[in-house]
């Protein structure tokens, strides 16, 4: 079973096929599904009740990260969709979308940038607590294994670098968030130029947080005396499992290409072009 299609039927449609969802498969009250009509070819957006006959949810058990997000696949086997559950048709051309509607995918992308930033900030905070709790040289004794203390110049410089990364990412995300809030407040009066500016700021937030989060979540494994690949319990015995931040970050950064974001930002800055509003992998 592959893809998903909507076949016209009396009073509505019949949904067949499969869809992958990044979150909420096991807990969703409704699935929002986009599928082409077998009659017209247009993409229709429909709401589907998970309790409907023919809906089979299959959670992903062995995901690298973001396991609490409940990602998975959903099979639709001749699922009845009433006309009242049809939200509408997706625009064939993103430039035909109203400026207000164009903010929706941008808001989702910005929300994921906030998630990425939160992962970086929490990883850094937990690593700091572990480093603070590490024994000093006097406490270790001459024969004890080496461990970095809060007075180690190398450790201080490393944390300074990571703190700057986190502060920079937060500043870029805040700027994009403020712009998004103003755009949403304008409602239907928001202009396409404003949407383009917001799109650039969101792309910048994605690019900066993606780099910062990948760097921070990998670096803290070294700073807390971790050895070997992610997954090894830290030597301090704290049970902090900092590798979970690295795994969660990898799931997010694998979803989008930094090269696309940088190209869109550069094209807008150099040529004044409007970047795409929809998500591009």
C-beta neighbour count of 89 within 10 angstroms: 13
Integer angstrom CA distances of residue 53 from 14, 25, 169, 187: 12, 16, 45, 38
Question: What is the pLDDT of the chain when averaged over all its residues?
Answer: 81
- Whether residue 80 contacts residue 9, with contact meaning beta carbons closer than 8 Å, is answered with yes
Nearest to 192 by CA among 90, 97, 268, 92: 97
pLDDT in tens, 91-133: 666 566 777 778 888 988 898 899 899 999 999 999 999 888 8
Beta bridge partners of 55: 76
pLDDT reported for residue 145? 41
pLDDT reported for residue 23? 64
Please work out, in degrees rounded to the nearest 5, the angle formed at the alpha carbon of residue 203 by the alpha carbons of 202 and 209. Answer: 85
Kindly tell me if the per-residue pLDDT of 10 is higher than 80. Answer: yes
Centroid of chain to Cα 147: 35
Which pTM does this prediction carry?
Answer: 0.72
What is the share, in percent, of the chain residues with pLDDT greater than 70? 77
Residue with the two structure tokens 């690949």: 229
Rg over CA atoms, the chain: 23
Kindly tell me if the per-residue pLDDT of 135 is higher than 90. Answer: no
- H-helix segments, the chain: 99-133, 137-140, 153-186, 192-223, 243-253, 258-271
Residue 88 Ramachandran class (φ > 0 left, ψ -120 to 50 alpha, else beta): left
Average pLDDT (207-218) is 94
pLDDT in tens, 224-236: 864 333 443 444 4
What is the share, in percent, of the chain residues with pLDDT greater than 90? 36
Beta bridge partners of 76: 17, 55
Lowest mean pLDDT among 10-19, 146-155, 255-264: 146-155
pLDDT in tens, 36-90: 999 888 888 898 988 899 999 877 665 555 555 566 788 999 999 999 988 877 7
Cα–Cα distance for residue pair 135/117, rounded to 1 Å: 30
């Amino acid at each position: 079973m592959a893809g998903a299609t909507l076949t016209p039927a009396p009073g509505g449609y019949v949904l067949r096929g499969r869809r992958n969802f990044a979150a909420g498969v096991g807990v969703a009250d409704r699935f929002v599904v986009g599928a082409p009509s077998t009659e017209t070819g247009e993409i229709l957006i429909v709401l589907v009740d998970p309790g409907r006959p023919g809906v089979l949810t299959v959670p992903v058990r062995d995901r690298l990260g973001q396991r609490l997000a409940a990602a998975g696949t959903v099979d639709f086997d001749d699922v009845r969709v009433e006309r009242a559950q049809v939200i509408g048709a997706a625009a064939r051309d993103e430039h035909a979308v109203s400026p207000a509607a164009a903010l929706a995918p941008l808001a989702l992308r910005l929300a994921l940038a906030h998630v990425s930033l939160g992962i970086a900030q929490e990883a850094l905070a937990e690593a700091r607590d572990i480093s603070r709790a590490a024994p000093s040289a006097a406490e270790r004794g001459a024969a004890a294994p080496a461990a970095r203390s809060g007075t180690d110049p190398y450790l201080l410089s490393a944390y300074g670098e990571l703190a700057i990364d986190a502060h920079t990412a937060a500043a870029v995300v805040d700027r994009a968030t403020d712009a998004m809030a103003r755009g949403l407040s304008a409602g239907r009066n928001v202009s396409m130029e404003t949407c383009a500016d917001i799109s650039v700021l969101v792309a910048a937030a994605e690019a900066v947080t993606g780099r910062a989060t990948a760097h921070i979540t990998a670096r803290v494994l070294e700073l807390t005396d971790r050895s070997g690949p992610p997954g090894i319990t830290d030597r301090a015995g704290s049970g902090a499992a900092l590798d979970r931040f690295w795994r969660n970050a990898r799931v997010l950064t694998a979803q989008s290409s930094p090269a696309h974001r940088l190209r869109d930002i550069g094209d807008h800055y150099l040529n004044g072009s409007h970047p795409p509003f929809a998500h591009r992998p």
